[in-house]
Amino acid sequence: MSKYRMLAIDLDDTLLNSQFKISPRNKEYIRRAREAGVHVTLATGRMYCSALPYARELDINLPLITYQGALVKEAGSGETLIHRPVPLELARQVIRQVKPLGYHINVYVDDNLYVEKITPEAEMYQRISGITARPVGDLLTFLKEPPTKVLIVGGVQELDALGQEMRRQFGRTLHITKSKPHFLEFSHPEATKGHALDTLARRWGLTPDQVIAIGDAPNDLEMIAYAGLGVVMDNARTEIKEKADYVTRSNDEDGVAEVIGKFILGD
């Protein structure tokens, strides 16, 4: 029997293929892993309401790691286990600094997505996430409570440079990462997939060496480092693959199924 008792899987560019679908093979292997007694959950930067339909498709009723780990919530009961929002004044500082630069900004409160206005970036985000954005005008005027996270949409190189600058200013007080090349995200300093994975493993009496984590992006690095087996997709950037214990096939080649077959089922 495999020593691995927990499997955390990222969604975009990992479990989901290029059409944002779960392939029949990945679905079958996740079912077989669950039947073998493995705790299988999703670990995503997406909103809980955006991740939940995929959990239901997979019959997962366990806590889901969403918003990079800022919100961990049961897929079955809807019970919130963890919510670590961005402190309100820090969120306002980020918005105040980024807004004059012309970037599109998302803020998330109570699992709803709010934007200043519907821009091409907002429309693109809606297509990817399946969530409808709510335009509210000036975000600084609107925001009255700590948001679960703040997300900036922009060009890849521009956001890389912005991320470096913002880490110099906020690196000790915020977790700043990328979930996709065009998305720069700001969250609570302990709102990482690694922190959330540790909380769930402890809840189930497991140690890191019993955990597999699969991802592809910078926001997956903490859980890849935490897990006894940190797996990165072949479609990931080279600097992410260099951090992996194992590199599996791409998200369009059922890389998740390969990991389950090799390390859990012993196929």
Is the pLDDT at 264 greater than 90? The verdict is yes
Please indicate whether residue 10 is annotated as part of the active site.
yes
Angle at 67 between CA 3 and CA 32, to 5 degrees: 30
Residue 2: predicted pLDDT: 83
* Domains in the chain, CATH or no CATH each: 6-83+191-265 (3.40.50.1000), 88-187 (3.30.1240.10)
Q: Tens digit of pLDDT for each residue in 153-192?
A: 999 999 999 999 999 999 899 999 998 899 999 999 999 9
Q: In the chain, what is the greatest distance between 2 CA atoms, to the nearest angstrom?
A: 56
Instruction: Say what the alpha-carbon torsion angle 152, 156, 162, 165 is, to the nearest 10 degrees.
Output: 130
Catalytic residue among 10, 216, 220, 254: 10
Q: Go through 196-205 and write b for each residue having 16 or more CB atoms within 10 A of its CB, e for each that does not.
A: bbbbbbeeee
d(CA 195, CA 106): 23
Q: Tens digit of pLDDT for each residue in 60-81?
A: 999 999 999 999 999 999 999 9
Question: For residues 137 and 131, is the Cβ–Cβ distance under 8 A?
Answer: no
Which amino acid, 83?
H
Residue 1: predicted pLDDT: 67
Q: Where are the beta strands (DSSP E) in 45-201?
A: 63-66, 71-74, 80-83, 104-109, 112-115, 134-135, 149-153, 175-180, 183-187
Q: Which of 253, 255, 245 is nearest to 224 (CA)?
A: 245
Model confidence at 147, pLDDT cuts 50, 70, 90, reads very high
Q: Where are the beta strands (DSSP E) in 129-256?
A: 134-135, 149-153, 175-180, 183-187, 211-215, 229-233, 246-248
Is the pLDDT at 84 greater than 90? The verdict is yes
d(CA 200, CA 72): 9
d(CA 107, CA 133): 10
Alpha carbon 136 to its chain centroid, in Å, reads: 25
Q: What is the rounded average pLDDT of the residues 138-143?
A: 97
Lowest mean pLDDT among 52-56, 123-127, 226-230: 123-127
pTM given for the model: 0.94
Residue 185: predicted pLDDT: 96
Q: What is the rounded average pLDDT of the residues 28-55?
A: 97
Q: What is the rounded average pLDDT of the residues 194-221?
A: 97
Tell me how crowded residue 1 is: count the other CB atoms within 10 A of its CB: 8
Residue 149: predicted pLDDT: 98
